[in-house]
Every structure is written in structure tokens, then in C-alpha cells.
Amino acid sequence: MVKYDEAVAVDSPAADSAREWILDYNRGDVEATAAIREWLSVEGSAWPEVDSR
């Protein structure tokens, strides 16, 4: 939240740096999610089914 507050502050000298940090952080999140989705689509079906009884 600190980085967000810096990023949206109009007169903050750190605004550009904070925006770049947020973009990098979000990029990492998106890449990690894509990797997990890819793994699940390829390897996820190899997991045994769980008996829910």
C-alpha cells in the first residue's frame, strides 16, 4: 500500500519509481499465474481423483 500511495501522489518525487515497482510486481504475479495454469492444463490431469465420500 505504501508503493501505491507513492504512485498516486501528485507531488511525490518517488511516484514514477513506485509505479514501475507496482508494474514489475504485477507482471511477476501474472507470469506466476500463467505458469500454474499451464502446469495444471498439462500435468493436472495426472493427479489421482479424490474420493469425496
pLDDT in tens, the chain (53 residues): 998 899 999 888 989 999 999 999 999 999 999 999 998 888 877 777 777 77
* Cα 44 → chain centroid: 21
Residue 41, Cβ density class (10 Å: 0-12 exposed, 13-18 middle, ≥19 buried): exposed
Q: Global pTM?
A: 0.61
Long-range contact set of residues 28-31: C-beta below 8 Å, sequence gap at least 24:
none
